[in-house]
Structure 1
Amino acid sequence: MTKKWHRVPGYAFLTVFALFSLFPLYFMLVSATNTSRDVLNSKLIPGTHLLSNLQVLMDQTNLGAALWYSSLYAVGTTVLALVICSIAGYGFEVYHSKGKDIVMGILLLAMMIPFAAIMIPLFRMFADFGMVNSAWAVILPAVSTPFLILLFRQASRNFPHEILEAARLDGLSEIAIFARIYAPTMRATYSAAAVITFMTAWNNFLWPKVILVKNEYQTMPMLISNLSAGYVTDYGVLMLAVLIASLPAMIIFLVLQRSFAEGMTGAIK
């Protein structure tokens, strides 16, 4: 009984900080149902203006198009990034050599370069190829990241290489080994990479804002930015847009949270 009482302060401490962490989410939910004046007055009770805020949001913006383009960019980036980075991580570890270690070191150094430093050359390159205002211009810069390659490489170190040798003796090609043995075994790592990539691509604002010159191709972060850029901001409508933009990433994380934790620790099943 005494040991249980010793845990009370710890649970109380965690409960308080959990409430602090959940409060912004609660305030966002409540604000989406209130008027702009209520939001400015920090009203913490749900209101009755959810449908009216939704109607104003749909009248002022092209909400459906923004959701479609955000989904297109996020899903496209996630799928391509998982394929490319997993193959790269697999190659760096399974076909290990000193030369690949040097290349990996260069990739890790590239993580230290801020995106703003390469944004203008990147824009000029896509402009020369006539790819401004295209989905590929948004997706391609994010399909191969040093972090994801490193994540798959580290996870591959726990992969039993004896299985690879046995598969080669059985006559399987390298592509078949990767697709039929390696990829199914690394499901947790794929889930972790999918969560990270999808959330990053979904919330990406700077690069789509630069490369998507036409407003009709805007994403949800761009739509939210436009809502707050006017002379008068309707904060109820703005918070509803933020809520809608937050839901896909929240759903993806909740569905894959168990696999996400396993993948980040390098677990292989």
Structure 2
Amino acid sequence: MKSKILTPLKYLFLIICSIISIFPFYWMVAGATNTSNQIAEGKITLGNQFLVNLKSLFEGYNIPLIMWNSIKVTLITVVLSLLVTSLAAFGFEKFKTRKSEIIYSIFLLFMMIPFAALVIPLFKMMAGFHLVNQHLALILPSVSNLFLIFFFRQSFKSFPNEIIDSGRIEGAGSYGIFFRLVFPMMKSTYAAATIYSFMNSWNSYLLPLIILQTEDKYTMTLLISGLSSASYVANYGVQMVAIVIATIPTLILFVAMQKSFVAGMTGSIKA
């Protein structure tokens, strides 16, 4: 009798939580189909102004170029950061020394420093390398992601040392063991790290705001931010369309990799 009462309550609670989670996304999509005045008035139903808002956005900005900027920066950042951080984590975990543990502890301490405190030093560093207003200035600071090093190392703790030893017996070097044995068995972990790295780079705002200075170098986050200050009266409909467009790549990636993401976050290893 008790379970018959609790089960409907659990489902009701989950339904309410789902509605709360989904509503902002629905409101964003609905806003993209309405005029700015309708959004300001609080209309939350679908309208018929999507094509008008879309046309205004593409007429005012070079959306294909800006999307390409975001995709280029994000993809390069994801590939390089996964390669560098996973190799570093593998070295820290499987080739432990007293000095490496000290260095790793220092890395963990650096994670406590707010990113906003690093913006000015990063800008001065990139200015010294003549990389201001260049996408490379966004990529380089994101390659050595300290959280990913920590995340990969925690996953490598559960990786069997026997497999590594068998690879050495077969004559494989350290890099051969990593790319031929470790990498194929840690696909779920890499999927989770890919989603994290992708979202971190795709949604980056503060560093691009400081580094990028011309519109032809803008990313989608800077475009969306600029839409709110482009005129005296913000066009919320156009802003919503831009947000919808910027959300699509992340949504596609997460839907495609959600199973691997869950498995990777739980630290599973597949042979």
Q: Same fold (TM over 0.5)?
A: yes
Give 1:218 deviation, angstroms: 0.4
Corresponding residue for residue 204 of structure 1: 204
1:101 aligned onto 2:101: yes
Q: Deviations over 1:121-169 (max 9, x none)?
A: 2111111111112121110100111110011111111111111111111
Report the secondary structure of 2:76's partner residue.
Answer: helix
Report the secondary structure of 2:253's partner residue.
Answer: helix
1:262 aligned onto 2:263: yes
Residue type at the aligned position of 1:246? T
Corresponding residue for residue 247 of structure 2: 246
Q: Deviations over 1:229-264 (max 9, x none)?
A: 121111111111111111111111111111111111
1:237 aligned onto 2:244: no
Give 1:42 deviation, angstroms: 1.5
| Greater Cα shift, 207-216 or 188-197 | 207-216
Separation in 2, partners of 1:17, 1:163: 43
Report the secondary structure of 1:90's partner residue.
Answer: helix
Separation in 2, partners of 1:39, 1:112: 39
Corresponding residue for residue 139 of structure 1: 139
- Structure 1 gaps of 5+ residues are none
Aligned length: 269
Corresponding residue for residue 39 of structure 2: 39
Give 1:113 deviation, angstroms: 0.8
Separation in 2, partners of 1:27, 1:125: 41
Separation in 2, partners of 1:116, 1:29: 31
Report the secondary structure of 2:133's partner residue.
Answer: coil
TM-score between both structures, scaled by the size of structure 2 = 0.96
1:1-269 correspondence runs (5 A): 3-229=3-229, 230-269=231-270
- Runs of 4+ in structure 1 over 3 Å off: none
Report the secondary structure of 2:158's partner residue.
Answer: coil
Report % sequence identity.
Answer: 43
Alpha carbon RMSD of aligned pairs, Å?
1.1
- Structure 2 gaps of 5+ residues are none
TM-score between both structures, scaled by the size of structure 1 = 0.97
Give 1:117 deviation, angstroms: 1.4
